[in-house]
Amino acid sequence: MRNVMVTGANGFIGSALCQTLVDGGYLITAAVRAAEQKRRDARRAHAIVGDIDSATNWRRCLQSVDAIVHLAARIRIMDLSGAALLRAMRRTNVEGTESLARQAAASGVKRFVYVSSIKVNGEQTSARPFTASDQPSPQDAYAISKLEAEQALWRVALETGLEVVLIRPPMVYGPGVKGNFLRLIQWMDKGLPLPLASIDNRRSQIALDNLIDFLALCIHHPAAAGQIFLISDGQDLSTPELLRRVACLLGRPARLWPVPPTLLRIAAQATGKRAEFDRLGASLQVDASYAREQLAWRPQTSIDETLSRTIEWYRAQKSCPMNV
């Protein structure tokens, strides 16, 4: 499994994975959407694939490829909602994924590692953490499309013999992070007061380096084929604890003040921000014991180590005029 194609190769996870694989002696084909996303690196080939859907022609990219790590996905579309949003998500995340898998099988690719999402299991946990054997409960268009992509891959595996590995990570963080985690850092850096001190939840997360290490293992480990893996750092934090650790690394006070979570939930519901509140106030834990036992895997870095490096990256970006 030395020849690997990575889709979404210029993204937060994809760029780090490609670098790790190249450094490990793998031959990499980095699939990106546009020519300007190519990186200047003679150690990797590039494939310009455009938008991903059922019509994407992957055949030329797949020559001599042993394994694929499929990271590319449609995550959000700002101007769509409801049925139109789900159709658009399915076009890329379901139809595009199934088409790639079928072309891969026809081209002799042996293994297909698919990075799905813990949102397939649901948005929050209560009595116990999620496991891979739980009944899926996707709540939005993105999660529904991810589950349907998983189901399509199992069909392809059954019909063609392609080895499929499914991974459902929780929130991924590390240097280069964007989205909600970056906003949390910015809030703490500005010293903004947040009414979250009374939140008593637990949320799983996975450091970028730990996810990359696990993906690299799934490319070649014999026991990974045909499996669904939930993974995490193994240390679940409450939202206030995470914010306090970030604030400490920034050298800022954590201005958290207590408000009953019930009142916060009611206010979020009334203002149409319930989903945002749930990401901060609800618990979402995963049981990663199966991944650890099946593949003898252990996280390579700790939360504190990764948070420290993430804050260093954030400060470097903030101090650079090009990134302001």
Residues with a catalytic annotation lie at 142
CB contact at 8 A, 112 and 165: yes
What residues contact residue 250 under an 8 Å CB cut-off, 6+ apart?
A: 185, 188, 189, 311
Residue (of 152, 147, 148) closest to 162 by Cα position: 152
Q: How many helices (H) and strands (E) does the chain have?
A: 11, 9
- Tell me the C-alpha distance between 286 and 132, whole Å: 9
- Look up residue 98 and give its two tokens: 């199934």
**Closest listed residue to residue 52, CA positions, set 2, 126, 103, 105:** 103
What does DSSP say about strands 44-48 and 27-32: parallel, antiparallel, or unpaired? parallel
Partner residues linked to 172 by β-bridges: 206
Beta carbons of 85 and 140 less than 8 angstroms apart? no
Q: What distance in Å separates the CA atoms of residue 290 and residue 228, rounded to the nearest whole number? A: 9
Burial of 170 (0-12, 13-18, 19+ CB in 10 A): buried
Rg (CA), the chain: 20
Residue 43, both tokens = 């150690």
- Distance between CA atoms of 124 and 279, rounded to whole angstroms? 8
> Phi then psi for 45, rounded to 5 degrees?
-85, 160
